[in-house]
């Protein structure tokens, strides 16, 4: 028997028997006749369909924006779904007022999603309305009309009208969002959990959905699906037995925000901005990125450079597989059909460990990499004591640069060493020409990214001027 999905849509409770694989976007427009959420790309690229999802966590509600074209309706159970209609007030909100004052809308198609994302950013408890506030909040939006300059000008309005009074309660008190938000916490607590959240999926299991809905979206709403994110057991970050233990359903955003991760990767927020938009980071899971086996999976490349172990479980037991040896060929995994990826284990690092990530794509954010590169280096007295390097876009699989790493151990950091390293990498990689660049272009990119990475990691030993002539 299909269990009904129960959630709060803006201010009212909804109970639906809609197919759990139905996109939230389609449910809103077709079932609820709510047209403020726009249908654009249906691939999570344009941001026109952005809504806000509120989820119970530690007796609080965490609100995040998502692209409704990549989320199944079945996952709405027990959550608060906020659309542009649910943000309307008798007067203009601070976000709407700023957009009007700066003339930051033209055709208007993208505007509802933009308003939603900016409001979500202000709903965060510690919003930093800095010069990058709008850029980061709108990293998942493509608008051909505004040119973004007028949108960025809205920051001064937010500083004046909101200042440091961010967060849901502060916005309610100042009339920035509707008053019904005050009662949502108590109302969500009254919604009972599903008795069997997985169901009996025969065709698809859905985690973040950021890739499978692009590949199989047309048939998911007609198929038997299991919503994995309704199971919190394999989600979260903790430190156990000398490892950082990460549940496979942990999202990019949850991973990057956790103190255990920010401690070992201080620049993780900067890397996340390159890897995906805010809406996608809120949905995409680490396990999904790994199992998808894309040769250019950004998080896969980073986790591979961290020397991560994968925990695979079936009905009888579990086993551990190094991520560096998990891929056996294009879309071929060291995994049986009966096994499920449950955890990613990141080993403890010495204090002198340095981590770096680079990515080249056509757009700065919200784009697939042409080439990406990640490194973990332990340096002592100018010697490389240990190193892990992984690259994407240069082979049929996410590539651990095994020969290069062996070569670099116990070597002295220098310009000549770096040139030898690049030469060896060129032997290890096998890029192809595709829509993201020619094979020669990708060889040039990996050359440049290696130089950039080592210069950033060891500025006391290397400088960019050593490698390039001034003109």
Three-state SS for 357? strand
Is residue 255 assigned to a domain? yes
**Strand arrangement, sheet containing 353-360:** 353-360, 371-380, 383-392, 399-400
Q: Both 153 and 215 in a single domain?
A: no
Contact of 108 with 35, CB cutoff 8 Å: no
Instruction: Encode pLDDT of 215-227 as tens digits.
Output: 887 788 777 888 8
State the burial class of residue 288 (Cβ atoms within 10 Å of its Cβ: 0-12, 13-18, 19+).
buried
Is residue 471 assigned to a domain? no
Tell me, what DSSP letter sits at residue 233? G
Is residue 253 assigned to a domain? yes
Is residue 470 assigned to a domain? no
pLDDT above 80 for 127: no
Q: Both 241 and 305 in a single domain?
A: yes
Weakest mean pLDDT among 95-109, 167-181, 200-214: 200-214
Domain edge (last residue) among 199, 230, 261: 230
Domain edge (last residue) among 214, 230, 246: 230
pLDDT above 60 for 201: no
The predicted model scores a pTM of: 0.91
Q: Both 306 and 389 in a single domain?
A: yes
Q: Both 354 and 257 in a single domain?
A: yes
Domain that holds residue 283: 232-464
**CATH label of the domain that carries residue 52:** 3.10.20.30
Q: Both 147 and 198 in a single domain?
A: no
Contact of 446 with 373, CB cutoff 8 Å: yes
Residue 445 and residue 35: Cα distance in Å, rounded? 43
Instruction: Encode pLDDT of 152-178 as tens digits.
Output: 888 888 888 777 677 899 899 988 999
**What is the predicted pLDDT for the residue at 199?**
46
Residues 1-23 have a mean pLDDT of: 90
Residue recorded with tokens 């894309």: 294
Q: Both 204 and 331 in a single domain?
A: no
Contact of 356 with 372, CB cutoff 8 Å: no
Is residue 294 assigned to a domain? yes
Residues 356-382 have a mean pLDDT of: 91
Per the prediction, the chain carries an average pLDDT of 91
Q: Both 44 and 154 in a single domain?
A: no
Would you state the structure tokens that stand for residue 168, as one six-digit string? 């849901």
Looking at the structure of the chain, the number of domains it has is: 3
Is residue 95 assigned to a domain? yes
**What is the predicted pLDDT for the residue at 148?**
82
Q: Both 211 and 294 in a single domain?
A: no
**CATH label of the domain that carries residue 405:** 3.30.465.10
Q: Both 163 and 306 in a single domain?
A: no
Q: Both 239 and 376 in a single domain?
A: yes
Is residue 323 assigned to a domain? yes
Q: Both 156 and 217 in a single domain?
A: no
Contact of 153 with 133, CB cutoff 8 Å: no
**What is the predicted pLDDT for the residue at 224?**
81
Reported as half-sphere exposure (CB side, CA atoms, 13 A), residue 429 has a value of: 28
Q: Residue 279 is inside which H or E element, if any?
A: helix 278-283
Q: Both 78 and 105 in a single domain?
A: no
**CATH label of the domain that carries residue 124:** 1.10.150.120
Residue 126 and residue 247: Cα distance in Å, rounded? 26
pLDDT above 70 for 200: no
Would you state the structure tokens that stand for residue 423, as one six-digit string? 């030469």
Is residue 165 assigned to a domain? yes
């Amino acid at each position: 028997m299909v269990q009904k999905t129960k959630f709060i849509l803006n201010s009212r409770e909804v109970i639906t028997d809609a197919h759990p694989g139905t996109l939230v976007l389609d449910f809103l427009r077709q079932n609820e006749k709510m047209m403020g959420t726009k249908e654009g790309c249906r691939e999570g690229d344009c941001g026109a369909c952005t809504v806000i999802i509120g989820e119970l966590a530690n007796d609080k509600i965490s609100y995040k924006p998502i692209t409704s074209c990549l989320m199944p309706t079945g996952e709405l159970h027990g959550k608060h779904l906020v659309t542009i209609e649910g943000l309307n007030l008798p007067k203009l909100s601070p976000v709407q007022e700023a957009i009007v004052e700066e003339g930051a809308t033209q055709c208007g198609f993208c505007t509802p999603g933009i308003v939603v994302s900016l409001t979500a950013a202000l709903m965060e408890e510690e919003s930093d309305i800095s010069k990058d506030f709008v850029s980061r909040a709108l990293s998942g939006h493509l608008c051909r009309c505004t040119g973004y300059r007028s949108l960025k000008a809205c920051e001064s309005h937010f500083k004046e009208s909101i200042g440091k009074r961010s967060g849901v309660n502060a916005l309610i008190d100042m009339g920035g969002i509707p008053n019904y938000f005050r009662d949502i916490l108590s109302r969500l607590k009254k919604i009972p959990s599903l008795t069997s959240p997985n169901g009996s999926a025969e065709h698809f299991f859905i985690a973040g959905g950021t890739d499978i809905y692009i590949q199989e979206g047309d048939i998911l709403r007609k198929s038997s699906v299991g919503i994995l994110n309704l199971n919190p057991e394999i989600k979260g970050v903790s430190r156990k037995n000398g490892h950082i233990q990460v549940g496979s359903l942990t999202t990019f955003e949850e991973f990057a925000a956790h103190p255990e991760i920010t401690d070992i990767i201080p620049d993780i927020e900067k890397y996340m901005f390159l890897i995906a938009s805010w809406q996608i980071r809120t949905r995409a899971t680490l396990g999904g990125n790994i199992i998808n086996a894309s040769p250019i999976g950004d998080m896969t490349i980073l986790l591979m450079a961290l020397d991560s172990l994968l925990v695979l479980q079936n009905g009888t037991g579990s086993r551990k597989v190094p991520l560096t040896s998990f891929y056996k060929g294009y879309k071929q995994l060291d995994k049986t059909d009966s096994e499920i990826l449950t955890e990613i284990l990141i080993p403890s690092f010495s204090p002198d460990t340095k981590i770096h990530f680079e990515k080249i794509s056509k757009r700065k954010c919200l784009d697939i990499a042409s080439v990406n590169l990640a490194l973990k280096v332990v340096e002592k007295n100018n010697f490389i004591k240990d190193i892990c390097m992984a690259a994407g876009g240069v082979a049929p699989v996410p590539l651990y640069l095994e020969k290069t790493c062996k070569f670099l151990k116990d070597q002295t950091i220098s310009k000549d060493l770096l040139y030898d390293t690049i030469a060896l990498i060129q032997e290890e990689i096998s890029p192809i020409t595709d829509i993201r660049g020619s094979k020669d272009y990708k060889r040039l990119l990996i050359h440049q990214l290696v130089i950039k990475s080592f210069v950033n990691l060891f500025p006391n030993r290397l400088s960019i001027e050593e490698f390039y002539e001034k003109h």
